[in-house]
Structure 1
């Protein structure tokens, strides 16, 4: 008797418009509940980061067959090719380079130290795990680490950019998304918030000079009072028009530029310079930086970064739709790799902070400005003082601007170390 082939499972929702509605409703519910409408939800989200649910609830939809993350077009081309580059534009056009310089050399030194710590941590953790458990860094682990470096030098948009740049497998990416959440959101951020409550004693014991922090509090409060206003419909139209307009121009330019590089540069393939997507990401990032020197930077006063973050969270949810929640069970050693990586980052910040006698706030924001970027750096900054939250946004946006380039360099180093 002939054996009939087993029919592949079919997702409950196959219409992408219905799937988009489900994702939008899920994000709305997460953000509403995270605002703490009741004491239960306020306590719940003080323990469970909202970002975690934005990844994992869509992953549950995929895991249990509600949606098919591999077949949907919500991630590619919608989220990846439109929302990601638009988020990069809107999150970088608000950078105030002069304002950052006025924050003082110690803060900038700690931010740069945090960035170096992430790049160095990637190399050290890769080499240590090669000695402890070689299977952990075999295969395409280096590519997943490159994507994670993007997240830890700038945030989710940079992580997604590195995923496409190095063509990271969806399962590998999902595994490193879990490592990201565990090490950054469950370990690092709560640790820094806990230390914030002890900042005065720690700074006094270390002899740190906190005068610059007091000056920042007053300056930021004055800036907020002068510039913030309720956005009009025209403001929102301009924000969306600038973001999507630059995305369209970037796509138009990226195709011929990538083709020219592939035909005329011998190492274009190795450096991904023949990739249209790489050029879209770079053009949008540099366009945002260029706009930060113009009057367009004033769009931040009416919510440019909020719109960019909105795009980013849709992107995060679409990435979550492709995650295999059981994948990390096959590679638990990745958590140790991530922990070693994070300890190198924190260790370097601690050493430099002691040498500079930098306030604990500088160490915390130097870390979260990289690892959490504008998504969570304000949370940590506000734990020290509510008026310092915009400092987190300020340095977090620098992370968005530098993360794509520096994570790309880190990925090339890891690729060379892996012999890929």
Structure 2
């Protein structure tokens, strides 16, 4: 069992390197169906379940790395983006986001109506808080739990669902990326605008000087880490005077604004941002998966099953809406994770499609913080009728 934090991080990064290298060297068709990023998530979960590292002993390393690298990754990915072009996707992305929100709300209500006798007294309160979290983030969960008077003990089962079911859903959405062409053909979705934006950004990159240099790489790494550090400090300071958004949300806003401003300066033309952002992307995914033990599936089985029922209903309704309104898989996947995963996960999924689309994930996730608390309370009150 690994008890040293540095060894724990080193193993995860090396595992990512092995998987990416295997795809590059072997060119197996297997990787078209299960790409390295999904295998990394799955293997890290399995290693965690097998007790490959001590969760408590390595928690400090995880805490020190995860958010710091995540925000630095956002900086590097956003350096490639022209937000003026990305915002042209607005109406369709907005529709996809609210379609995902609607289907999640229906999923909670329908699941509680079926499972309420198995979940215990006042389970609607905890599920309401979880609904707030799955539409926004942890800040919404706290806000809803405070409004409904939920204690920590009552939230325990909901937190288990949030950990396990969410982890499986992230892995599923990452895996589904490879089916985007078939999905879009089935829904008859037009990805013309999306493709045009990506094509323009890629063409601009090819026209620019893309010779990667040591000074350039060092500046990008140092600059991204510095923005990550200062952004978190700024987020905490702003949260102190403007508590209607949590620290993480303010941090993402600060980092996003700084990176997008830098993107339209000569900094945005420095070669290597795409490669470095992918390195950070794999590190973040490995870290997230390394804390999701499958052993927790033995705890509160009725709650975990309910969580999967919510996700299944959400997925089916979103699938039908995608067919009806001809939505593409990128819109559906990022909209889903913008709700359920928030600012921590939606940009990762968007970046897995294309680094140029990270702002879409960020902006959609930020919308979740606006609706998470009121809709979570509304869904809780509706579920109370079935109690």
Partner of 1:335: 308
Contact 2:70–2:281 at 8 Å: present in 1 too?
A: yes
Partner of 1:111: 93
Cα shift at 1:244: 1.3
Cα shift at 1:46: 2.6
Alpha-carbon separation, structure 2, partners of 1:142 and 1:231: 49
**Cα pair distance change 1:276/1:375, threshold 3 Å:** closer
CA RMSD, 1 decimal? 3.7
1:38 to 1, 5, 26: 26
1:402 aligned onto 2:360: no
Cα shift at 1:310: 2.2
1:234 aligned onto 2:215: yes
Deviations 1:213-244 (A, max 9, x none): 89778756643431261311121122112211
Partner of 1:17: 6
1:129 to 111, 124, 127: 111
3-state SS, counterpart of residue 332 of structure 1: helix
1:322 aligned onto 2:285: no
Q: Which runs of 4+ in 1 moved over 6 A?
A: 167-170, 208-218
Cα shift at 1:324: 2.0
Alpha-carbon separation, structure 2, partners of 1:285 and 1:211: 26
1:366 aligned onto 2:328: no
Cα shift at 1:340: 1.6
1:147-296 counterparts in 2 under 5 A?
Answer: 149=135, 162=137, 166=141, 171-181=160-170, 183-186=172-175, 188-189=176-177, 191-195=179-183, 198=185, 219=200, 222-227=203-208, 229-261=210-242, 268=243, 271=244, 273=245, 275-296=246-267
Contact 2:44–2:286 at 8 Å: present in 1 too?
A: yes
Instruction: Return the TM-score normalized by structure 1.
Output: 0.69
Alpha-carbon separation, structure 2, partners of 1:375 and 1:276: 19
**Cα pair distance change 1:280/1:127, threshold 3 Å:** same
Give the gaps of 5 or more residues in structure 2. 143-154, 338-345
Give the gaps of 5 or more residues in structure 1. 1-11, 151-161, 262-267, 354-361, 381-391
Contact 2:23–2:31 at 8 Å: present in 1 too?
A: yes
Partner of 1:79: 66
Number of equivalences: 350
Alpha-carbon separation, structure 1, partners of 2:133 and 2:261: 25
Q: Which structure is larger by alpha-carbon Rg, 1 or 2?
A: 1
Cα shift at 1:127: 1.9
**Cα pair distance change 1:297/1:253, threshold 3 Å:** same
Partner of 2:146: none
Partner of 1:91: 77
Alpha-carbon separation, structure 2, partners of 1:322 and 1:214: 35
Cα shift at 1:325: 0.6
Instruction: Return the TM-score normalized by structure 2.
Output: 0.75
